[in-house]
Amino acid sequence: MRHLLMGLIFFFASANAIQAAPTEDPYAEVNASWERFGAVYSRILENYYARLDQGEVMSAAIKGMLGQLDPYSEYYDEEGLRQLRQDTTGKFAGLGITVAIKDRFPVVISPIEDTPAFRAGLRPGDLIVAVEGKSTLDMQLESVVNALRGEPGTKVAISVASHLGATPREVEIQREIITIKSVVLVEELQGKIGYISMRQTRFSEHTSSEVEEALKSLPRVEGLILDLRGNPGGLFSQATQVADLFLPQGVPIVSIRERDRRREEVKYSHRHSIAHNVPLVVLIDEGSASASEIVAGAIQDNDRGVVVGAASFGKGSVQTIFDLREREEEASALKLTTALYYAPSGRSIHREQDIAKPVHSVLFGDRELPHQLVMDLILRSENRAKALSALQSHFDMDSESAESLLLIRLGDLVGKSKMGAAGLPDSMGNQTYYTQRGRKVFGGGGIRPDISVESEPFPPYVQELVRRRLFFDFVIDYVSADSSWAEEHPDLTVSDEMVAGFMEFVLTKDISLDQGKKGLNQIADLEDLAEKMDWGEAVQESIQQLRAAVKQEWELRYSSELEPYIKSALRRELILRFRGRKAQLLEGLQEDVQLAKAIEVLADQDQYLGVLAAEEAR
């Protein structure tokens, strides 16, 4: 409790230091603020008509304070702290599989390579029908995960069926410490170009070692592509170490500035890089944030390589973890924004967010998200894929949580309370900075690519089917892993018959024909609310664009124009089913327009050097 009280005192001290003029007693305002808080807290506990859980009341007070700061400052209870440690270390004890629910049983989505589950022969689509002899029928997913995880070295017996109704096979697997890889794919592409993918992973404890090993495995390449798309960041130390692998010695990587510049630190490269002379392209997009932006900014500002893709997210703030544990059995922590990052040119990576106060929040699991900020992120995204990336990066959530957030009715998301103008994020800004060679770069948050290339995601309706995992579920039902289908179709070609079967399958899964109408009705509700609340022309125009996009896509959802996308999505799931995760990742590169541009730039030395040339030379 002592640590908590000190934290509250620190907060009130900071808040009042901004608003109040200095007094002879520097603690006078702190004491007055604390007395006001204590008076309210004690009267609530003594006089509220119902009994209260003091822990819950205090937790709500802490969240209320943090809600006035920024979206990245958070309070963690014991379970939240466990998840945070897993994210930052990239490790957990278990079998090494991703699971979901299908046909009321847990289903293996994908085993992680070189883990106990992978070595035991578990495959995508396998149903886990029992754990330690206990049926998993209708078991909650969280309960399944807890049953499969355990202490390293212990064993767990599971019953696995290749499909519903198949005879289960018994498998005993020994749990291990599972390391979640940051580098998910290393490949030599055409023209002696090396490709290192950190796409949709995180910067954890061993990221720089993984990237270094990847570089060593590509000794003969004449160009490199580092893919940071969809990577929301992670450990600051690993970001600087990854950048160090590509930079010459002695150049700045990033600087950190605390409030009022009371502490400023610059990180410099210091290693003899094994790749500092190889032409380099870094791929980024709207989901690239934090540590990813540090790497991309260091490469760009030092003219070390060309940045290709779309403008990054703009999370350039530093969070410090403060341990609040008072007793061993009551672990808790505070993650507080304490500084900002600046790229070597001096520009801020951070895109400021104007959060409306008081914060009206969306209750999402055990988290409360500022609903106005959620709306802004969704409305400023051109399509569902970009909205998902924005939500993942901003709220540090996984893809499944972001997808669930998009399912909330627009009217419910907006809420009923009257608010001021929407707190739209600042634009990329027009502040001009210069790289080492004098190339112009811009501040205001995020990293602008040297060459902008918009991705070509699936149409929204197909993305909806992907999100609902219908392609995966259909393939599992259509071809079981122990069938002869793969032998009869070695190229894993998707036939017209399979497409027709899939569309029939979709109709059985509550994707009703009037969903488009429901979506348009929700948008109409939102339009009415925007007009009543006087949100301004910019927001109303965004809503109108959303209406037009939804109307167009749902009118065309069963048209032949969607067939190529449906075939592509089905083929990816077939590849995962029969050839594994790596083969599926490679398949996804075949029609990747941003990657194709990166390859083109590296293959054309004049184009590559032209992008990196100083303005005068151009």
Residues identified as active-site: 290, 301, 315
User: Number of helices (H) and strands (E), helices first, in the chain?
Assistant: 23, 23
Ranges assigned E (strand) in 228-332:
252-258, 264-268, 280-284, 306-309, 317-323
Residues 545 and 387 sit within 8 Å (Cβ to Cβ): no
93: left (phi over 0), alpha (psi -120 to 50) or beta: beta
Task: Provide the 8-state DSSP code for 415.
Answer: -
Q: What is the rounded distance in angstroms from the CA atom of residue 137 to the CA atom of residue 148?
A: 15
Three-state SS at 389: helix
The answer to whether the CB of 186 falls within 8 A of the CB of 217 is yes
Beta-strand pair 91-94/176-179: antiparallel
Sorted by sequence, the CB contacts under 8 Å of residue 451 that are 6+ apart come out as 306, 307, 308, 597, 601, 611
Bridge-based pairing state of the strands 264-268 and 193-197: unpaired
CA distance 186 to 206: 16
Is 313 in contact with 351 (CB distance < 8 Å)?
A: yes
Q: Which two tokens stand for residue 163?
A: 């499909």
Gap between the Cα atoms of 78 and 57, Å rounded: 17
The DSSP call for residue 561 is G
| Per-residue CA distances from 96 to 170, 232, 524, 573 (Å) | 18, 22, 45, 20
- In this structure, are residues 224 and 278 in contact, taking their beta carbons and an 8 Å threshold? yes
Residues 6+ apart with CB under 8 A from 395: 71, 367, 369, 402
33: which 2 tokens?
A: 């603020």
Q: Is 416 helix (H, G, I), strand (E, B) or coil?
A: coil
User: Chain-centre distance of CA 563, in angstroms?
Assistant: 29
Pairing of strands 280-284, 223-227: parallel
- Kindly provide the residue ranges of all beta strands, DSSP E only, lying in 343-431, ordered along the sequence: 361-364, 367-370
Give which of 141, 442, 122, 460 is closest to 314, Cα–Cα: 442
- Residue-level length of the chain: 618
